[in-house]
Structure 1
Amino acid sequence: LWGIPLLHTEGDERTDVILGKFLKARDFKVSQALAMLKNCVLWRKSFKADEILDEELGADFDGMAFMFGEDKEGHPVCYNVFGVLQDKDLYSKVFGDDAARFLRWRVQLQEKGVKMLKLEPSTPNALLQVIDLKNAPWPAKKVRSVLLKAISLLQDNYPELVIKNVFINVPWYYSAVFSLLSPFLTQHQKNKFVVTRLGKSTEALFKLISPEKVPIQYGGLGRAGDDEFSGADAPVTELPIKAGEKKTVELAVTTGGSSITWDLVVVGSEVSYGAEFQPDQEGGYTTIIEKTKKISAQLEEPIRNSFKASEPGKVVLSIDNSLSKKKKSVVYRHIVKAA
């Protein structure tokens, strides 16, 4: 499976990793695990799963899921986006005549994820799944049917290859779907579920994934194809802010002519934010970089700004939560580049 021999005679230490996944999926009942393994091998042959990475399945479903970064333990993260099904054409393809092609596309994505794993002992050898249900369609019968088929297919043929399923932006009406899924899941599988209601998604993701590796559309600092901070010593800091509190963050610029860039995102709800440069020289003029304005967790992307300092000093970021009765937090990082 996945280029890994299933017999110990080959001397590949990854064999134990693969066999262990099937055993764990069947509560270490050997006969059941062996039956599962046999069925998986037969399915891969009939489904032509080993050839699926070379298939061109079109770009119709690409907006439904994507791989981005890894969690704090090094597991690659797959984001599944159900809100795109608001598009009627896509909806009719996924739950209509193109349902079979959609399943092949989803298996192809799973194979891409597995290919990212080393599947060696003592290494992260599973994926983290994030399922975004914001604006997801009403779970009609045909929707449930396709979803159950996809879940069953992945569970039966990719055992223990998902470390956790994190459901975010969950509408109230999807509680019925979870009830429907429950009989098809073992308690072990249910323990992998994390369900987060609307408005709490960013906090839930930050518990599992470092903010710089969470995509900007989910309240993180991660931007696809962005290299502004790559390879730089730019640790991410989370600053809690109590209700009614105002705080400042000082970012030092020690050399004149240097450029400073910072990212900042608010977790929770609305705060007021501003930025200014204060020179070290006594009597120097303060420069307003950004006038104070209200920002919220619903921003399409985090704040990113840059400033070139003509002299040594500091950029001061002000975060004002004084009018709120709720605690917030801001997450930020910065980098200084010499002239």
Structure 2
Amino acid sequence: MLRKVMKWRKEYGTDSILDEDLLTRDNDELKDVVHTGSTDKQGRPLYYTVYGAFKDKALCTKVLGTEESRENFLRLKVQNLEKSIKQLSFKSGGVDSIVQITDLKNFPAPMKELSSISKKIVTLFQSNYPGIINKNVRLNSDCD
């Protein structure tokens, strides 16, 4: 498994992804969709995804309408996860995991592109970041 993850990291360019400017004038709204920066009481980084912004169909089309824009969104998600990982300490007693928070308030009606990219993100994170996400919290879902 470790070899597979290391191969993916090399192919995907995760070592340099923090240097990429994935938020541009054309998609700066994404800073409100995917963000990091705070921690929980145990000091674990909080990684937020706020899908309600996609109720704006124009934004959804702009961000998820082409293969290139979907790949940019995926890279932005990975970039923010990598930013959170930089805050971790794998020493004894250190913070070694992240809390992922997904806010589904105002989540738009089912959209093929959004559903597809969400599944791809979950698979990518589970396959390539095993054990990094301590808890996955869903807010404002119909199942709450």
Q: Same fold (TM over 0.5)?
A: yes
Per-residue CA shift, 1:151-182, capped at 9, x if unaligned?
A: 1111111111111011011136xxxxxxxxxx
Count the aligned residue pairs. Answer: 138
Work out the CA distance in 1 between the residues paired with 2:7 and 2:76: 19
Q: What is the one-letter code of the residue matched to 2:94?
A: T
Taking the TM superposition and a 5 Å limit, the aligned residue runs for 1:211-250 are none
The residue number in structure 2 matching 1:69 is 38
Structure holding more helix per residue: 2
Confirm whether residue 102 of structure 1 aligns to residue 73 of structure 2.
Answer: yes
Shift of 1:65: 1.8
Work out the CA distance in 1 between the residues paired with 2:110 and 2:142: 11
The runs of 5 or more residues in structure 1 that have no matched partner are 1-35, 173-196, 198-339
Work out the CA distance in 2 between the residues paired with 1:107 and 1:115: 12
Shift of 1:94: 3.0
Confirm whether residue 165 of structure 1 aligns to residue 132 of structure 2.
Answer: no
Alignment check: 8 A CA contact 1:134 1:171 kept: no
Work out the CA distance in 1 between the residues paired with 2:3 and 2:65: 31
Alignment check: 8 A CA contact 1:68 1:79 kept: no
Per-residue CA shift, 1:105-131, capped at 9, x if unaligned?
A: 111001000001112222111111111
Give the percent of matched residue pairs that are identical in Structure 1 and Structure 2.
38
Confirm whether residue 55 of structure 1 aligns to residue 47 of structure 2.
Answer: no
The residue number in structure 1 matching 2:121 is 150
| Backbone CA RMSD of aligned residues | 1.4
Q: Which has the higher contact order (CA 8 A, sep 6+)?
A: 2
Work out the CA distance in 2 between the residues paired with 1:120 and 1:93: 42
TM-score when normalising by structure 2: 0.88
Q: Which has the larger radius of gyration?
A: 1
Taking the TM superposition and a 5 Å limit, the aligned residue runs for 1:80-159 are 80-97=49-66, 98-159=69-130
Match of 1:45 among 10, 23, 40: 10
Per-residue CA shift, 1:268-304, capped at 9, x if unaligned?
A: xxxxxxxxxxxxxxxxxxxxxxxxxxxxxxxxxxxxx
Consecutive aligned runs of 4 or more in structure 1 exceeding 6 Å deviation: none
The runs of 5 or more residues in structure 2 that have no matched partner are none
Q: What is the one-letter code of the residue matched to 1:47?
A: Y
